[in-house]
């Protein structure tokens, strides 16, 4: 192989380039990499002295040097390349084995390439993968699991509460003021897995239902076990109010109690106009009006009622039995209203308490502090105030409901004029006929 290279000026042969199969003209076969050529070191050139410089003459791309004409190469010209002669194909045989080692004689030979169809490696864009729809089976399975857990949890909760609860649980018992004590054992306790009929209860400690806020113990006994509970006396009943019609003159002062004929309640009732400003507007013009009134008991139960007010141009005089008496603190005057037809007691009472002051300073101080108030309390008495600067007196006026009058006296009050007068005179009152 080396001998052939020496005779070949190109330094390449068919073995180093490989055999080219011209049967497939559409394939470009890559040529094996050519090993790098080691450059031959250049010998230093001898420098000649006194050599005259020659400027070549250029004529029509021909260079004349020393009367010798040379053609200057055209840089833009494309050199002609002679066609390559076809190379005979190489027969690939089994390599010769020398000393149990294969010997390859044709190293670097390119094997023939069969006609292989060209495959386009650029894949067509695939359709986007659509997510699979979750079927109803998975959802149903999750729902069933949740329901099963809820059922198990509910069962455990019921079981724990059932096992942890005592057989008897006493209730928070509230007894309405003035009512009778219940005789039903189920009003006092809750019975778990036990029949209440086998138990008995004792409420003997509940002795008084008339004291609001009082607390008492009761006992429930089932076999050899006893359970104690507490009962409280409460007032949750709203007042039961009976109204009456009120006649008044223009700009006359009236109170909410003037509209009350009777108030039934376990505790004391109090009265107030719902709209004071509206009432004053009514009293300025003669007419008939409906007046809303708030009635409240001492336990905070309240009810709204509507009274009838008739405002007249002239003052209306009503006959009354006036009964008075004095004590160390004040003078008390009661005006018991009488019906016009037969002078019988109409169950309306107006009471006046008159206080006289010895000290002018004390009187003026009280007056200045309360002069703009429609109702004040003095010496434990509440009423509408009226001050007399000349006599240094304070008068508190209030209406007394018939039920309060009965409670105060401790008995029913006679209705006829003669019996009524005699009744109060027997109680150290001085009575006379007058106007309401």
| Average model confidence (pLDDT) across the chain | 77
Residue 59 has pLDDT above 50, yes or no: no
Cα dihedral: 419, 421, 425, 431 (round 10):
180
Cβ atoms of residues 62 and 70 within 8 Å: yes
User: How far from 117 is each of 49, 114, 204, 317, CA to CA, in Å?
Assistant: 70, 9, 114, 132
Count of other CB atoms within 10 angstroms of residue 257 = 23
What is the distance between the alpha carbons of residues 303 and 238, in angstroms, rounded to a whole number? 6
Residues linked to residue 383 through DSSP beta bridges, in sequence order: 376
Residue 289, helix vs strand vs coil: strand
Cβ atoms of residues 1 and 13 within 8 Å: yes
- Chain centroid offset of residue 244 CA: 49
Residue from 177, 310, 299, 292 nearest 241 by CA: 292
- According to the model, what pLDDT value does residue 202 have? 94
What is the distance between the alpha carbons of residues 415 and 344, in angstroms, rounded to a whole number? 5
Count of other CB atoms within 10 angstroms of residue 396 = 21
Provide the whole-model pTM.
Answer: 0.40
User: If you count them, how many residues does the chain have?
Assistant: 436
Residue from 351, 342, 397, 357 nearest 374 by CA: 397
Mean pLDDT of the region 119-147:
66
Listed in sequence order, the residues at least 6 apart from 379 whose beta carbon sits closer than 8 Å to its beta carbon are 329, 330, 355
What is the distance between the alpha carbons of residues 382 and 371, in angstroms, rounded to a whole number? 15
Q: Please list the alpha-helical segments (H only) found in 379-416.
A: 402-409
pLDDT digits (tens, 9 = 90+) for 352-386: 999 999 999 999 999 999 877 878 999 999 988 89
What is the distance between the alpha carbons of residues 220 and 354, in angstroms, rounded to a whole number? 57
Residue 392, helix vs strand vs coil: coil
Residue 26 has pLDDT above 60, yes or no: no
pLDDT digits (tens, 9 = 90+) for 202-219: 999 999 999 999 999 999
Cβ atoms of residues 323 and 424 within 8 Å: yes
pLDDT digits (tens, 9 = 90+) for 141-181: 788 888 888 887 777 666 655 556 889 999 999 999 999 99
pLDDT digits (tens, 9 = 90+) for 73-96: 555 555 566 666 665 555 555 555
Residue 43 has pLDDT above 60, yes or no: no
Q: How many CA atoms lie within 13 A of 254 on its CB side?
A: 32
Residues linked to residue 93 through DSSP beta bridges, in sequence order: none
Q: Where are the beta strands (DSSP E) in 327-427?
A: 331-338, 345-356, 376-378, 381-388, 393-400
User: How far from 417 is each of 223, 343, 389, 399, CA to CA, in Å?
Assistant: 66, 6, 36, 20
What is the distance between the alpha carbons of residues 210 and 218, in angstroms, rounded to a whole number? 18
Residue 40 has pLDDT above 60, yes or no: no
User: How far from 217 is each of 236, 423, 424, CA to CA, in Å?
Assistant: 21, 45, 45
């Amino acid at each position: 192989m080396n001998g052939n290279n020496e005779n070949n000026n190109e330094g390449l042969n068919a073995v180093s380039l490989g055999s080219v199969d011209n049967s497939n003209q559409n394939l470009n076969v890559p040529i094996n990499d050519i090993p790098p050529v080691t450059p031959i070191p250049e010998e230093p050139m001898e420098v000649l002295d006194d050599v005259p410089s020659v400027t070549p003459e250029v004529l029509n791309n021909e260079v004349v040097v020393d009367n010798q004409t040379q053609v200057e190469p055209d840089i833009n010209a494309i050199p002609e390349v002679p066609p390559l002669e076809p190379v005979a194909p190489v027969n690939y045989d089994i390599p010769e084995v020398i000393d149990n080692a294969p010997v390859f004689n044709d190293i670097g030979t390119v094997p023939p390439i069969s006609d292989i169809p060209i495959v386009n490696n650029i894949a067509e864009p695939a359709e986007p993968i659509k997510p699979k729809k979750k079927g109803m089976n998975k959802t149903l399975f999750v729902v069933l699991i949740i329901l099963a857990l809820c059922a198990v949890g509910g069962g455990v909760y019921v079981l724990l509460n059932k096992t942890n609860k005592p057989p008897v649980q006493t209730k928070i018992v509230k007894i309405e003021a003035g009512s009778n004590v219940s005789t039903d054992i189920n009003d006092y306790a809750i019975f778990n897995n036990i029949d209440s009929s086998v138990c008995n209860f004792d409420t003997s400690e509940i002795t008084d239902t008339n004291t609001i806020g009082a607390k008492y113990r009761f006992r429930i006994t089932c076999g050899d076990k006893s359970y104690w509970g507490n009962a409280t006396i409460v007032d949750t009943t709203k007042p039961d109010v009976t109204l009456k019609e009120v006649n008044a003159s223009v700009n006359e002062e009236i109170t909410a109690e003037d509209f009350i004929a009777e108030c039934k309640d376990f505790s004391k009732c109090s009265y107030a106009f719902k709209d004071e400003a509206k009432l004053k507007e009514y009293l300025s013009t003669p007419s008939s009006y409906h007046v809303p009134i708030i009635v409240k008991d001492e336990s905070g139960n309240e009810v709204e009622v509507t009274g009838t007010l008739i405002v007249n141009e002239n003052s209306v005089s009503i006959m009354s039995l006036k009964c008075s008496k004095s004590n160390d603190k004040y003078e008390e005057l009661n005006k018991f209203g009488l019906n016009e037809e037969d002078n019988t007691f109409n169950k309306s009472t107006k009471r006046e308490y008159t206080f006289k002051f010895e000290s002018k300073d004390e009187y003026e101080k009280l007056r200045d502090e309360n002069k703009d108030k429609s109702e004040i309390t003095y010496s434990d008495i509440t009423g509408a105030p009226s001050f007399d600067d000349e006599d240094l007196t304070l008068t508190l006026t209030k209406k007394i409901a018939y039920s309060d009058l009965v409670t105060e006296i401790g008995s029913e009050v006679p209705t006829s004029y003669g019996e009524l007068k005699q009744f109060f005179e027997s109680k150290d009152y001085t009575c006379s006929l007058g106007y309401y």
